[in-house]
Structure 1
Amino acid sequence: MYSKTSNGVRVTVEPKYLDDESDPTEPRFFWAYTVAIENGSDEPIQILARHWVITDQNGRVEDVRGLGVVGEQPVIKPGARFTYTSGCPLPTPSGIMVGTYQAIGADGDMITIAIPAFSLDLPDARPVLN
């Protein structure tokens, strides 16, 4: 599990390799990752957008930007948590993801929330990033 706190918001990520969705002969390796966003600030926030930087073991970088998370732009009240699961295919058996969320506070100010870097590794592989 990987965790980081910024601007009073804690983001925790737990990746999991999905053998049933993967086919090394293609090559296609697929991970699910569960993200928990915990609002430790004193005001509600709304997640507006996400930005991911995904790097495979060959150093190929994919820059992914989009609105919200899993089709939602959730409002997270103080002390509350929003959890979702998404996925990431790679052409290599390992990689790294890191990113940010753009949120807006009750006062209308934009907030950048860091997503911790986390490893995507096969279950029996030595983790590349800790």
Structure 2
Amino acid sequence: MSPSLLVQKKKKVYHLEQIVFDLILGGSETTLTTLLWFYLYMVHFPDIQDKFCNEIIREIGTDRTPACQDKVKLTYVNAVILETQRLALATISPFSILHNCSRETTIAGYTIPKDVQVLTDLDAVMLDDEI
């Protein structure tokens, strides 16, 4: 193999390793931060923590841990988890990824031209009481 091909191959492997690292780090960081927010909310809102735990005990019991199939029975637990994710997302990632407008669009009276990149302010969306 020629030296230039070997260098190209090493660059591709390095690039792939970086992508995998970014995916793992991104997934673990957001999960960890969401869990930390969940614990903080449970400490600050003991009434919600009591309802959360009581629903698990009432629907699942104390002999086993909840499983995926129990999700339909745990409506309050699911609501608390979704609310935690909504509130935590605003602090973890206040902006979405860039999106390209594929055609001219009008939203709430504002015209967005074709091929313009749009960045969503997730913080504003997730914390707006009217949405």
TM-score, normalised to structure 1's length?
0.21
Q: TM-score, normalized by length of structure 2?
A: 0.21
| Higher relative contact order, chain-length normalized (CA < 8 Å, sep 6+) | 1
Q: Of Structure 1 and Structure 2, which has the larger fraction of its residues in helix?
A: 2
